[in-house]
Amino acid sequence: MSVFAKWQFWAAGYDKGSKVSRLQNLKQIEKSIGKPPKQLAERPELRSELAYLWALFVSLKNASEGAISYNQIKSYMDIYGDLTAFEVDLIRELDQLSYQEAYANG
């Protein structure tokens, strides 16, 4: 999942001086040339059994002003039901990875 996540974080970012995300730019290139550019064509796929965890991470991240806290995860579980330790750990790892990628990509 980390390869998928890293690509997603990269694609959601912006190149210096650009007003559109890399993903928007790649999709525009695809429209222009009639086929996906290499970076878009070779994007990693997420295994279907992990899709719910990615959706959960994105939901929590969008509701957060910073790092996803254990309190936020606990609040989520109070509403939607318990998560396993694996699921909580993965959400926290993805959150840390998002900050690492943001720092690395400026």
Q: Where are the domains of the chain?
A: 2-104
Residue 36 per-residue DSSP state: -
pLDDT in tens, 61-92: 999 999 999 999 999 999 999 999 999 999 99
pLDDT in tens, 30-62: 999 999 999 999 999 999 999 999 999 999 999
Sign of CA dihedral 33, 39, 44, 46: negative
CA distance 93 to 91: 5
pTM score, whole prediction: 0.84
Q: Is 17 left (phi over 0), alpha (psi -120 to 50) or beta?
A: left
56 CB contacts (<8 Å, ≥6 apart)? 76, 83, 87, 91
CA distance 87 to 89: 5
Three-state DSSP class for residue 51: helix
CA distance 67 to 14: 20
